[in-house]
Structure 1
Amino acid sequence: MDDATIDIINLRLRTYIGFNPEEISKQQDIVINAQIRYPAGNACTTDEAAQALNYKTITKKMISHVEGGNFKLLEKLTSDLLEIAMTSKLVTFAKVTVEKPHALRFADSVSLTLSAKRQ
């Protein structure tokens, strides 16, 4: 029961993403999903916030990075967000998916997923 999974679901933001002229000049919608795992035994036992992973802090860092950034590739943006998710030494695993709605004419969206784990 000690492993906790935090899911950040459908975080909708706007940023500059892409390298085509229309992508460089106007912000686009993106959707972020993240899964973060950490050992939560102490938080479960003590009911103390200091023992838990602060997902609000992680989310605020992601928002700031996305909204203040300019990215050519989904790979770079997703990698940056994964790095933010893995910042705390408590995190044992993280997976981040960035979705770019309407990136292809006949598709709902295009997405890229990256994951990392700490030994």
Structure 2
Amino acid sequence: MEEATINIINLRLRTYIGFNPEELTKQQDIVINAQITYPAGNACSTDEETQALNYKTITKKMIAHVEDGHFKLLEKLTSDLLEIAMASELVTFAKVTVEKPHALRFADSVSLTLSAKRN
């Protein structure tokens, strides 16, 4: 059985993230990377979109959640996005990383990664 890994790379969005006074009123850039694994045997053999995991639907849900949300912690935002990635019963594994560029003065970004596996 073929297993496919979908990679969503550098999805750049803006949201309210943080708990400092200026972070509560000003949106900030975030960068999302996700890996989503599912058994792709049927999609590979049939070439039918109905047999594949629809990454566009997953990405649209992530975008809406981020753009409509207010988050204090990277942990909460990343956890929510991981839940969206794992929502389909087809998904066997997902890993989501959220970066907060310029969160630290001398660093390019700060990121947090969470993963989940379905037994």
In which range does the TM-score fall when normalised by the shorter chain? over 0.9
- Provide structure 1 residue ranges, at least 5 long, that are not aligned to the other structure: none
- Partner Cα separation in structure 1 for residue 105 and residue 41 of structure 2: 47
**Unpaired runs of 5+ in structure 2?**
none
Please tell me the root mean square deviation across aligned C-alpha atoms, in Å.
0.5
**Identity of paired residues, percent?**
87
- What secondary structure, in the 3-state scheme, does the structure 2 residue paired with 1:106 have? coil
Deviation string, structure 1 residues 18-59 (Cα, Å, up to 9, x no partner): 000010010000000000000000000000000000000000
Letter in 2 for 1:6: I
* Number of residue equivalences: 119
Aligned partners of 1:30 and 1:102: how far apart in 2? 10
Give the Cα–Cα distance (whole angstroms) in 2 for the partners of residues 30 and 60 of structure 1. 16
Residue matched to 1:20: 20
Q: TM-score, normalised by structure 2?
A: 0.99
CA–CA distance in structure 2, aligned partners of residues 11 and 59 of structure 1: 9
Deviant stretches of 4+, over 4 Å: none
Which amino acid letter does the alignment assign opposite residue 10 of structure 1? N
Number of the residue aligned with 2:96:
96
Residues 52-75 of structure 1: per-residue CA shift (max 9 Å, x gap) = 000000000000000000000000
TM-score, scaled relative to structure 1: 0.99
Superposition deviation, residue 117 in structure 1? 0.3
User: Secondary structure at the residue paired with 2:106?
Assistant: coil
